[in-house]
């Protein structure tokens, strides 16, 4: 049984930082590109950042470039999203996703067909 579990969300003031973590079990982590998506209620889900199986290639949506950093630790089956200089518009539910044998930039696809597994989501709220 595959599990994808996010943690690290919370409430932070604008300009602050949070680090999200996503740990998987039940899959061969090295076989999966990993990514972070976010969704605001009533709006479409958006790919934020994703990373190739070995961490060598990364993708960021334009609005977070220079502020967010994605990384992974294959020994721990975990992917991270370090979020700095947070803005109120970053407020959303953040979802971790696993995409088996897919490109590192799979999260840039708007149809999400490459995603094999989703986490349950973690709430990030940035106050102004």
Model confidence at 108, in pLDDT bands (50, 70, 90)? very high
Radius of gyration of the chain (CA): 13
Q: pLDDT digit string (tens) for 69-105?
A: 999 999 999 999 999 999 999 999 999 999 999 999 9
Half-sphere exposure of 127 (CA within 13 A, CB side): 4
Tokens of 100: 């088996």
Q: pLDDT digit string (tens) for 12-41?
A: 999 999 999 999 999 999 999 999 999 999
Hey, is 70 helix, strand or coil? strand
Nearby residues of 6 by Cβ (< 8 Å), 6 or more positions away? 20, 21, 22, 94, 95, 96, 119, 120, 121, 122
Burial 99-112 (b: 16+ CB within 10 A, else e): beebbbbbbeeeee
């Amino acid at each position: 049984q595959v599990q994808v579990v996010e943690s690290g969300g919370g409430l932070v003031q604008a300009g602050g930082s949070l680090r999200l973590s996503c740990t998987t079990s039940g899959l061969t982590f090295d076989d999966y590109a990993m990514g972070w998506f976010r969704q605001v209620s009533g709006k479409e889900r958006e790919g934020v950042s994703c990373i190739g199986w070995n961490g060598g290639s990364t993708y960021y949506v334009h609005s977070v470039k220079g502020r967010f950093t994605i990384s992974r630790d294959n020994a721990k089956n975990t992917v991270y999203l370090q979020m700095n200089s947070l803005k109120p518009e970053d407020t959303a539910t953040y979802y971790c996703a696993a995409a088996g044998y897919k490109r590192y930039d799979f999260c840039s696809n708007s149809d999400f067909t490459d995603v094999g597994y989703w986490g349950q989501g973690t709430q990030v709220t940035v106050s102004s």
